[in-house]
Structure 1
Amino acid sequence: MIPKRIQLFCPIIIFLLILFSCQKKKSVTKNEITNSPEVKRLIAVADTLFDNNKFDTAFYYYNEAIFKCNPIKDPENYISTLNRMAIIQQTHGDYAGSEATITKALPYTKYVKNQLHIWNLYVTLSTNYLDTYDYKNAILYNEKALELDTKYWQKLAAQNNIGVALIQDRKFEEALDIFLPLETKEQVVRDKDFYSSLLDNIGLCYFKINDGEKALNYMNRAIKVRQETKNPFGLGKSYIHLAQFYEEQNPGMAKKYMLLSYKEFSKINYVDGRLSALKMIIKNSTYSELRNYSNTYVNLVDSTNEFRQKAKNQFAKIKYDSKREKEENLKLKAHKAENELKLEKQKNRNIISYIIIALSLCLILILYYYLTSKANREKIEAAYNSETRISKKLHDELANDIYHTMAFVENKNLSLTENRAHLLSNLDTIYARTRDISKENCTIITDENYTVLLKEMISGFSTKNINLISNGLDSLSWDEISKTKKITIYRVIQELLVNMRKYSEATLVGINFKATEKNILINYTDNGKGIDTDKIIFKNGLYNVENRILKIKGTIDITSGSNEGFKVFIKVPL
């Protein structure tokens, strides 16, 4: 519902829209003529670059072809070109940009005679949805591809894609219903890559439904075919599935396949595959080996994120520059018509400027009032939550321990040695609990001793059952970081470790600190039981963590899954 103060501005906004519409007294039309030879030349150049993996330059020429192509008169070139552009963006992890590109082609599918172009469009769109975990739409567009009048092997490929989406959606028995009939198809058996992938997927499904004998049989058949074709991508997939198969029953064999998978994916620099293999290796490593692989994983994640962001920016810039160039050409052609309206528009612009300034000032005042009120409410709420949490700890934990100790003293003979020892043990537990509550709420020192204090707090959570590793803490220039951010970092790390000890059942915890020119990066990882991020509820500890980070303009990203550990990435601006 729109607040009353905002509703007051609606008549003014409507007036502005009417005023702008009155300016359109004249319009400039342009006959869109497709320059077919030029479009074909640009596409040919782009295809050559695409085949040679020069994607940035290929994207530029495809984009040039799009601006010269008429989608109604030449829909096949228009759709196929947009499809290639979407594939390039998809390859570089720009899924939002890929979807925006490919959906431009959908309105023109009705003009296409060769349905192969529509099939390619649907498959690319389904792959994009699969990569962004939208399995329902991934299946939907493969079903659309099945309905098209295309060759038999393309229908088989669409069926296989539906099965892959079902695997990702953890519907393994439904996936088997699709995969098993494909196993005997002559076209599938002839295509070694397709056939080995199918066998591996069947083996994975049987593994997920706990039919180990069939799972191992299909996985071994798949790897035999892939070893013949020497396909690093396929071998990497097979090895990582075998590692999952042996992980619980034969850790040594599992570790061997993890390393082989990482090696094969490294040959083709398949980043997602390398990260998946490294994640399993880290989970099954200890001591210095764990540290080395953890550092490799963190560095790979950082470099991948940076590379993908640069690619997104590059593709956006190419689109923007082409659009701007086209708009400038249109402006030059329309310059004469615009001059006739210039004086009248200038008067209206002045009026509109005054109205916009008045609106802006009002909105700023409203926003200031809202943010101030919100900040005051958050302060009161934070104080109340802190008091409630301390009270709950005192009542639920400390008071119960004291009550049981008092009952023990009243009912036991303290002259006996074992009873006195039990009493001392209870008193020690009460002392430790009191000390923990005190540490959680004590004043934090932010002077030159801050690093020592932070290390002591972190090491305090290390027990005989919990191995805690921290890296990079001394590499940060803490003197240049504000007091508020130091306190926030301390409390956030403390809250994460408290949650870990209470709920996660973790045996290994890693905390990595890293500084860039503008940010502090903190990576927290544990091998606990994890949580389902789709069902995560931000309350108590996790709410405090998120709220603290957002208050200092930072960002937080939580990654977890049932029995997959718990990972938190925090970025705090300097």
Structure 2
Amino acid sequence: MLPQTIKNSTTYYASIANNPELSLSLANAYKFFNKKKDECLKKHDTINAINHLRQLAIIQNELGDYLGCETNIVHALKLLNQLKETEITNESKVGLYNQIGRLNLILLKYETSLDYFKKGLKIAKHPRHINILQNNMALVYIKQLNFELAEKILAEIYEKSKTQVGAEQTTARALDNLGNVQAKLGRPVALDNLKKALKMRLEIKDNYGLYSSYSHLKEFYSDKKDVNKAVFYANQAYDVAKTVNSISYIEDALSNIISLSSDPNVLKYKQLKDSITNARQIADNKYALIKYDYLKKENEAKVDGTDYENH
């Protein structure tokens, strides 16, 4: 059991919200931040109320409550608009635009997602925040198979971050994502960039970043039909996944190792499982979007005093 003082701390529950293991832990974190939010609103402590609303939105996003997530983000933005602009309120607004952009990315609403990332960029002042927003825009373009534009943005992030103090992690992430996109485009420089990013991550001991690097290198060599090197990097990724003790990483790493098997039955099983998983993911995302749109219209109808189901 954890000491009561730790279990009641904001830091403890923020860690759960941002690195969840179990939905029960998220539920406990949600109760904590919801209570703290209400307390802050009663005391007119608006800044901390906004921070708690942001944590609530993170938890709801993780649990698939996308309407609730958006509702809390919008609430936080409304509270921000009542405050005088400062460095703190600016950072909060940028973070909220980034959150709602990521939410729309999950809901497959790519153009809306890009709109919010662009809104964040218009007011962002800190280089780290700008890099995050631009990186997320690149992820949208990758989803849209617009690899050329993603390549351009990631190259810009990489060049800028090289001159920024304390941005080693950002630089490595940009270079790794850049190399991965370049591999899809058949650029000769792709492998060099992937290996440079790996070297940087080893130097700064970025384990989560290392998993991404090893996975991208496995993918690169797998596409080149170099099975031995693909297996090597797949195993490296698996070792890192065990080190960070992430269930989702371990599952992904084992799936990558299985995909390199020479047993035709194993490969057929892997392809079938991936096909089912992808189909379920697409269906889940579409269902989430339908549910989100329905609930949003239903709430709007209640505000207007109409019965949505009868229209």
TM-score normalised by L of structure 2: 0.72
Q: 1:229 to 1:155 in 2, by over 3 A?
A: same
Task: Specify the alignment match of 1:230 in structure 2.
Answer: 205
8 Å contact from structure 1 (residues 72, 111) kept in 2: no
Task: Specify the alignment match of 1:352 in structure 2.
Answer: none
Distance across 2 between alignment mates of 1:196 and 1:161: 15
8 Å contact from structure 1 (residues 79, 121) kept in 2: no
Distance across 1 between alignment mates of 2:141 and 2:269: 33
What is the aligned-residue identity percentage? Answer: 25
- Are positions 1:525 and 2:285 aligned together? no
Deviation at 1:173, TM superposition (A): 0.7
Task: Specify the alignment match of 1:109 in structure 2.
Answer: 80
State the secondary structure of the residue aligned to 1:70. helix
Task: Specify the alignment match of 2:268 in structure 1.
Answer: 508
Task: Specify the alignment match of 1:282 in structure 2.
Answer: 258
Specify every segment of 5 or more residues in structure 1 that has no aligned partner in the other structure, as ranges. 1-43, 288-466, 470-506, 511-523, 534-556, 561-574
Task: Specify the alignment match of 2:48 in structure 1.
Answer: 77
Amino acid at match of 2:10: D
Distance across 2 between alignment mates of 1:92 and 1:271: 17
Task: Specify the alignment match of 2:10 in structure 1.
Answer: 47
Task: Specify the alignment match of 2:103 in structure 1.
Answer: 128
Q: 1:243 to 1:105 in 2, by over 3 A?
A: same
State the secondary structure of the residue aligned to 2:223. coil
Distance across 2 between alignment mates of 1:134 and 1:265: 31
Specify every segment of 5 or more residues in structure 2 that has no aligned partner in the other structure, as ranges. 1-6, 17-24, 284-311
Q: 1:268 to 1:262 in 2, by over 3 A?
A: same
8 Å contact from structure 2 (residues 154, 174) kept in 1: yes
8 Å contact from structure 1 (residues 86, 102) kept in 2: yes
8 Å contact from structure 1 (residues 176, 202) kept in 2: yes
Give CA deviations for 1:204-241 in whole Å, capped at 9, x if unaligned: 11101111x21101100100000112222101100110
Greater helix proportion: 2
Deviation at 1:116, TM superposition (A): 1.3
State the secondary structure of the residue aligned to 1:252. helix
- Are positions 1:148 and 2:123 aligned together? yes
Task: Specify the alignment match of 1:426 in structure 2.
Answer: none
Amino acid at match of 2:73: I
Task: Specify the alignment match of 1:177 in structure 2.
Answer: 152
Q: 1:136 to 1:278 in 2, by over 3 A?
A: farther
Q: 1:45 to 1:527 in 2, by over 3 A?
A: closer
Query: Where do 1:161-240 residues align within 5 Å?
Result: 161-185=136-160, 186-188=162-164, 190-211=166-187, 213-240=188-215
8 Å contact from structure 1 (residues 261, 277) kept in 2: yes
State the secondary structure of the residue aligned to 2:272. strand
Distance across 2 between alignment mates of 1:67 and 1:77: 10
Distance across 2 between alignment mates of 1:184 and 1:558: 35
Q: 1:272 to 1:135 in 2, by over 3 A?
A: farther
Q: 1:100 to 1:263 in 2, by over 3 A?
A: farther
Structure with the greater relative contact order (CA < 8 A, sep ≥ 6): 1 or 2?
A: 2
Q: 1:132 to 1:232 in 2, by over 3 A?
A: farther
Distance across 2 between alignment mates of 1:109 and 1:121: 10
Task: Specify the alignment match of 2:93 in structure 1.
Answer: 118
Q: 1:559 to 1:65 in 2, by over 3 A?
A: closer
Distance across 2 between alignment mates of 1:166 and 1:259: 30
State the secondary structure of the residue aligned to 1:174. helix
Deviation at 1:286, TM superposition (A): 4.6
Give CA deviations for 1:473-512 in whole Å, capped at 9, x if unaligned: xxxxxxxxxxxxxxxxxxxxxxxxxxxxxxxxxx7247xx
Amino acid at match of 2:240: E
Amino acid at match of 1:50: Y
Give CA deviations for 1:447-498 in whole Å, capped at 9, x if unaligned: xxxxxxxxxxxxxxxxxxxx658xxxxxxxxxxxxxxxxxxxxxxxxxxxxx
Aligned pair partner of 1:68 in 39, 42, 45: 39
- Are positions 1:98 and 2:69 aligned together? yes
TM-score normalised by L of structure 1: 0.41
Distance across 2 between alignment mates of 1:71 and 1:187: 44
Q: 1:229 to 1:152 in 2, by over 3 A?
A: closer
| Root mean square deviation of aligned Cα | 3.4
Q: 1:219 to 1:180 in 2, by over 3 A?
A: same
State the secondary structure of the residue aligned to 2:186. coil
Give CA deviations for 1:153-202 in whole Å, capped at 9, x if unaligned: 32233222212322233211101221222223255474111110011011
Query: Where do 1:121-520 residues align within 5 Å?
Result: 121-148=96-123, 150-185=125-160, 186-188=162-164, 190-211=166-187, 213-249=188-224, 250-287=226-263, 508-509=268-269
Q: 1:270 to 1:64 in 2, by over 3 A?
A: same
Distance across 1 between alignment mates of 2:50 and 2:61: 16
Amino acid at match of 1:248: D
State the secondary structure of the residue aligned to 1:150. coil
State the secondary structure of the residue aligned to 2:75. coil
- Are positions 1:86 and 2:61 aligned together? no
Amino acid at match of 1:109: L
Q: 1:68 to 1:248 in 2, by over 3 A?
A: closer
8 Å contact from structure 2 (residues 207, 244) kept in 1: yes
Amino acid at match of 2:140: A
Q: 1:265 to 1:527 in 2, by over 3 A?
A: closer
